Amino acid sequence: MGFDLFARVIIGFILFVRNIIGVVQTPYETYRNLSKGNHPEQLIPLVLIVCAYFAWSALVRHGIRANPMLLTYSFSALFMASIVTFGLVVGTIVVAGRLFHGTGSFRTVVLPWGYSLTPTIMWFWITSMLWVVFPPPRTGSVAGQLLSFVFIITSLFLFFWKGVLYYLTLRFGMKLDLVKILGVSAVIFPMGALYAIIMYRLGIFRIPFI
Amino acid sequence: MKYSPMSDDHTYRLLVAKMHDVSSLSPQSVGPLSPMYHSIVPFFKHAPWRMFAAGSFVVTGILYLLFGVALINIVSVLQYGF
């Protein structure tokens, strides 16, 4: 029993590395396989990376000398909010997808959407590290402008990547065509915007972890 | 020489599984825009990061032409967003 669990975790890690490379190099083929919903344990490394980010984020936000209780609260709030957000987004994709006659389920969407968090987590890691190395505000100097351009280019790169992974989640996870994906997006995006405002007002996410 | 049925052949079974995978979704159709769609999509199927990199350079250039140095303010706001 214990060995089985250990073996599944190891398999999950191997699949995670393989699929991360696939998401970068051959996203269509990779997402076609991910939408089968096999080996959900491959999301464990992603959860660990997200946990590590929220711990780091709490430290950066409040400082290393902050009260441990405050750091724990900040970490817990971010982590719980991200878990709830993940569940809500997957649920919304499934419900909205079915409204447009999609044939997927929670099982076929959870892995594709999980891997679509790769550009998200990369952006949050990059931004938080940049905040430490080059704290804002940026200036109009040559160095400031150069850094701003690099940041915008990086952010757009990750944004386009996220967009494609979102499309593939609906295409393979819910088996929808482009027109229906646009219809589902018209339902999901306003709800996402409203959710982002609520999270911002609650002081949990300035930019939603989606 | 002994022959085995084709259905026992490993390569054959892999091929059938692959064809089943590929045919599980009907080809994308977007009306009159279908030819354009099918000419663009191959660029996103293999190493799409090249398209993302090119696209992000172009869009950043356009944003710079539109907003000028004010783009720096957007970066400052985004930097507080993590």
Query: What confidence score (pLDDT) does residue A1 get?
Result: 62
Most confident of A63-67, A87-91, B25-29, B30-34: A87-91
pLDDT(B19) > 90? no
Residues of chain A contacting B37 with CB distance shorter than 8 Å: 178
Q: Which of B 29-68 lie inside 8 A of A, CB atoms? A: 29-30, 37, 44-49, 51-53, 55-57, 59-60, 63-64
> What is the Cα–Cα distance from A152 to A130, expressed in whole angstroms?
13
Q: Residue A29: pLDDT band by 50, 70, 90 thresholds?
A: very high
Interface predicted TM-score (ipTM) of this complex, two decimals: 0.86
Query: Position A19: which residue type?
Result: N
Q: What is the mean pLDDT of residues A87-116?
A: 95
Token digits of residue A36? 């089968």
Locate the chain B residue with the closest alpha carbon to A29: B45
Torsion of CA A128, A133, A139, A144, to 10 degrees: -100
| CA-wise closest residue to A156 among B55, B48, B50, B66 | B55
Residues of chain A contacting B50 with CB distance shorter than 8 Å: none
Query: What confidence score (pLDDT) does residue B66 get?
Result: 92
Q: Residue A97: pLDDT band by 50, 70, 90 thresholds?
A: very high
Q: What is the mean pLDDT of residues B3-28?
A: 83
Q: pTM score, two decimals?
A: 0.91
Which residue would you say has higher pLDDT here, A177 or A136? A177
* % chain A with pLDDT above 90: 78
